[in-house]
Structure 1
């Protein structure tokens, strides 16, 4: 297994895919962190707020949830691209069993996904600190920031693993790109809108995209509201949470760990499907 893992890392770092997808992850993280704190600084230039507004927690949430697309694409292309280029044939013919190859890919993909998430969080932190030069309160409490950053790393890792499973399942590089993007940004949006106000609206947080986004959003939104409202304020109305979740993702009253467990189930399902397909697919 050690030799397979080393071989997978060599495959990754001898191609351009990993760093080509890492660049937007870093840029999005930096831009989101900077805008989140800079916007509060602009507001304070016109009217001094009576308490810190850690808007960066929310902007970084958007960054994390959007950047997971690149982790997912990396995972999907790391194996479907090998089917397209026929390079996986050698791996399957020289390794026994085939599942060992998939296991090595999952281990390396998890490492790359965690690295993507860490880069996104660090760049967001750097951007947030630069934007918060005049108002460090807009950066948020350090513990809250670390919690949201840790959740974003975890979310990115799971999205990357789900991408590997899906790429192994379809084995077609074009479909491995188009189908996840179309579902996350089009299909699930339509389904979510259709569920609003219906008798089955409660299933919304359990949809794959919503669950994946909720890992970060369902943690960051309550932290932001608690920081803004303060301990002496009356209970924050549900409409405030709904408005924030509508913009930044997640669902009111749904715990972040529930989203984590839900998406972990989807990840396991895709990985199991990819393993099943790999065991039965002819290679040439």
Structure 2
């Protein structure tokens, strides 16, 4: 198994894909975090209470939710790219059984997901400094907790991508499906569910669950840090606005979002294991 893992790391870091997709993570994380600090609604609150707001907590959620798609894409191409390059035959012949290959890729890409997560945290932190200054971070423990959630979200998106790529095995399809689902399909579904009895279902969809890992943690911490003992008087509308802009779902705990998304990742990994073990590689 050690040999397979080393082989996966070698294949991963001798190609340009991992750093080519890492560049937009850094740029988007910085840009989203910087622009997020300028959200007009926050400026009015800041002026009203007369002190800086810990906007970095919210913008870390925004930057993570923009960047996780690239972790999903790089994970999806772990298998789909090998099918496209026809190297999957050699990989399976030298790494039999096929399940061991999947296990080695999961280990390698978990580490890559951590790298993506660290870059997101650093870039998002720099963006928050550029937009809100050092006072915009809030308390150190709060910041570290939200950053840890961002790392976890990035890793889970990477693992979901690996499973999805093993399941579909076509790079064009995996790229299109991931992009369209995250940025188009789920948005349309949310529009249809708004105001209906089934509106609560939205929080359990993959995209919403993924964004809720950080958003459903960052927004309540931000409210608590801002309102203090008066938190119970904060109107529901403020929560909903913050979740709409920075991610997550009102009243939905972050750990439930994490478990929901981890369940989706596990299903894709199991599906990828089943179908990749039966797919013709000749």
- Scaled to the shorter chain, the TM-score interval is over 0.9
Distance 2:50 2:258 in 1: 35
Contact 1:37 1:139 in 2 (8 A): no
Matched, 1:22 2:22: yes
- CA shift, 1:234, in A, is 4.9
Distance 1:240 1:49 in 2: 15
Contact 2:56 2:125 in 1 (8 A): no
Distance 2:174 2:265 in 1: 15
The answer for the alignment partner of 1:224 in structure 2 is 222
How does the TM-score come out when normalised to structure 1? 0.93
- CA shift, 1:274, in A, is 0.4
Residues 49 and 106 (structure 1), Cα distance of their counterparts in 2 relative to 1, 3 Å cut: same
- CA shift, 1:83, in A, is 0.3
The answer for the alignment partner of 2:73 in structure 1 is 73
Distance 1:131 1:66 in 2: 18
Contact 1:32 1:56 in 2 (8 A): no
Matches of residues 208-223 of structure 1 in structure 2 within 5 Å?
A: 208-223=206-221
Query: Which among 261, 265, 268 is matched to residue 267 of structure 1?
Result: 265
Distance 2:11 2:144 in 1: 32
Matched, 1:173 2:153: no
- Residue by residue over 1:9-39, the C-alpha shift from the partner in whole angstroms, topping out at 9 and shown as x without a partner, is 0101110000001111112222333344577
- CA shift, 1:245, in A, is 1.1
CA RMSD of aligned residues (A): 2.0
The answer for the alignment partner of 2:202 in structure 1 is 204
The answer for the alignment partner of 2:278 in structure 1 is 280
Give unpaired runs (5+ residues) of structure 1: none
- CA shift, 1:104, in A, is 0.4
- Residue by residue over 1:181-230, the C-alpha shift from the partner in whole angstroms, topping out at 9 and shown as x without a partner, is 11111111111111111111121110111001100000011111112222
Distance 2:203 2:168 in 1: 26
- Residue by residue over 1:56-97, the C-alpha shift from the partner in whole angstroms, topping out at 9 and shown as x without a partner, is 221221110110000000001121010011111101112221
Give unpaired runs (5+ residues) of structure 2: none
The answer for the alignment partner of 2:108 in structure 1 is 108
